[in-house]
Amino acid sequence: MSTPSLNTEEETESLDSEISTIRAELQTLHHRRRILTNSLLTSRPLQRLAKSQSQSQSQSQSPSQTTATAPRSSQKWTDLSPLLHTSALHADLNHYRIAFSTTAFPFTDPSPSPVPSEANKSLIGLRIDICARDGSYVKPYYILLRKGRRGGEDGVLYVHRHTVPPVVDVGALERVYLPRAGGDAARGEEGEGGEQLKPWKRSPTKKQNLKGFLREVRRQLVVWHVRCDGVRYLRERLGIVRRGEGQDADADEENGVWERDVLAEEPNQESKIARNDLGIVALGATALEAVYVRVEWVDGRVGRFKISNAGLVERAVVMGDTGRDKLMEAVMTGGNGRLETLLDRWRKHASELRGSAAAAAAAAPVSVGDGIGIYCSVTNQANKCP
């Protein structure tokens, strides 16, 4: 009695899974077809042809139709033209988004206001597109500005809604670049009681600087993405082992601990750095903003370095059991200082150490290269300190 029901259950399960895989395949094929049709529609020869056709059509329509084929072909083009038109518009928009990175669009606030006026409902939308390391674009960031009519002033802009993560403090930037005289108190976001009590302390009305505001927001977003990409790049070059993936993970259990990577796609996936020649067991950003990166070596040394907005290793501290490892710090901040070449500097340093050790073993009295290395690092340190 129980076995047939089990069998049918198994059967239905296998059928279900089969159906779902077929559905998924269908979906991907549909997706591909749509991508291909749309790329075809936006392709330059077709667009040019359409343009020339519509021109020739308008020319050919003024005289009487002479050939029998003309109406049929024109019929075809009018059928196609709305599609062609929208895809051409979309392609234009995409070109703008790629080229200028920050684009504006109108948006109407759907919520009804008690005082019906079109000016109050329309918002200025701003879109920031940022290209990631692999050439794809991240989800666009949006800022929606509203034109305020508060305190008797017209045309004062303020941020109504935005999708910028708190890594970039839009509120603070707004206070700097889009100051509102009197509007602050009415909006009441940051209007403290002190400002009301001491009106003479209020700074004189500054002009709003929308361009500066946007430039700064975009700059900070781009810098944040560059830092994140840099840390991800370093981790990838060292090699990442994800928990639950691959059988050899259990083999080198002693090499490092499973850690959560803050910048990973799935935040709860635990991973660790694969065994490498540099003896690094952990490398990862300390927080989502990816300003500080923590490094851990197999011999127990722990380091932390700061990534500057320009993508340089700005400061580095390495602590070992016997105190600070200044030489390693100098290696990290030295050279061209780029985050991307950090591993190469470490490798070079390791090979130098090995070379000097070999030289010492060969009973050379003083290793020249080593001395120069230390000297260089000291000068670097001196340069960086102020």
Partner 1 sequence: MARSKAIRAPTTASLSSNLRIPSSTPSLVKTFGKLTRQALLDLVFQWLEDGNVQHFPPYLQANEGSKRGEEGDGDGLRPYPAERTINGVRNAYQELQFRKGGKREVIDRILEGDWRHGITLRQLAMVDLRYMDDHPSSLRWTALELARIDNSSSNESFACIPRVHASTFLSSLQQQISPLVKAHYHLARSTSLPLTVLRVFVTTSPYQNAPRQSAESLTDSSRTIYVAFPDSCPFFYTSMASPQTASKASSALPNSLVATDVRSLQRLVRDAIPKALSLPHQRYTVKPTSLIAKSLEALLALRGPGRSNHANGAFSIFADAALEGSPLDPRPSNTVSPEEHNRQSASEATLENRRASKRSLADSKEPGTSKKRTLALQSRFGTSGTLSSVPLDRLDVRLLDALPGDAKPTEHAQQPTVSLAFAGTDVIGGIRKLAELGVIDAERMPCWMTGEEGVSVLAVREGRGVSKAGR
Task: Report yes or no: 320 and 299 within 8 Å, Cβ to Cβ.
Answer: yes
Stretch of 20-28, 199-207, 327-335, 353-361 contacting partner 1, by CB under 8 A: 20-28
CA atoms of 271 and 283, how far apart (whole Å): 11
Catalogue the long-range contacts made by 152-160 (C-beta closer than 8 Å, 24 or more residues apart).
153/180, 153/181, 153/182, 153/183, 156/180, 156/183, 156/208, 157/124, 157/208, 157/210, 158/183, 158/187, 160/109, 160/123
38 binds partner 1 (CB under 8 A): yes
119 or 362, CB closer to partner 1?
119
CA atoms of 145 and 162, how far apart (whole Å): 9
DSSP secondary structure letter of residue 124: E
CA angle 361, 366, 368 (to 5 degrees): 110
Stretch of 31-39, 50-58, 232-240, 349-357 contacting partner 1, by CB under 8 A: 31-39
CA distances from 247 to 187, 223, 250, 308 (A): 58, 37, 6, 38
95 or 211, CB closer to partner 1?
95
Give kind and range of the element (H or E) at residue 69. Answer: helix 69-100
114 binds partner 1 (CB under 8 A): yes
24 binds partner 1 (CB under 8 A): yes
- Residue 238's φ and ψ, nearest 5 degrees, are -75, -25
Taking CB under 8 A as the criterion, the residue among 60, 255, 289, 306 binding partner 1 is 289
Taking CB under 8 A as the criterion, the residue among 80, 91, 222, 350 binding partner 1 is 91
353 binds partner 1 (CB under 8 A): no
45 binds partner 1 (CB under 8 A): no
20 binds partner 1 (CB under 8 A): yes
Tokens coding 262: 């803050």
Tokens coding 69: 């084929």
251 binds partner 1 (CB under 8 A): no
Task: Report yes or no: 288 and 262 within 8 Å, Cβ to Cβ.
Answer: yes
Stretch of 60-68, 245-253, 264-272, 362-370 contacting partner 1, by CB under 8 A: 264-272
169 or 277, CB closer to partner 1?
169
Taking CB under 8 A as the criterion, the residue among 70, 124, 181, 288 binding partner 1 is 288
97 binds partner 1 (CB under 8 A): yes
Stretch of 22-30, 147-155, 229-237, 322-330 contacting partner 1, by CB under 8 A: 22-30
CB of 129 to partner 1, least distance (A): 6
Tokens coding 123: 């918002």
Stretch of 69-77, 81-89, 275-283, 352-360 contacting partner 1, by CB under 8 A: 81-89
CA atoms of 191 and 70, how far apart (whole Å): 70
Taking CB under 8 A as the criterion, the residue among 231, 283, 291, 342 binding partner 1 is 291
205 binds partner 1 (CB under 8 A): no
12 binds partner 1 (CB under 8 A): no
CA distances from 299 to 6, 102, 241, 281 (A): 55, 47, 20, 9
Task: Report yes or no: 181 and 195 within 8 Å, Cβ to Cβ.
Answer: no
Interface residues with partner 1 (CB under 8 A)? 20, 23-24, 27-28, 31, 34-35, 38-39, 41-42, 86-87, 89-91, 93-94, 97-98, 109-115, 129, 136-142, 144, 159, 161-170, 172, 175-176, 185-186, 188-189, 220, 260, 262, 265, 267-268, 286-289, 291-292, 309
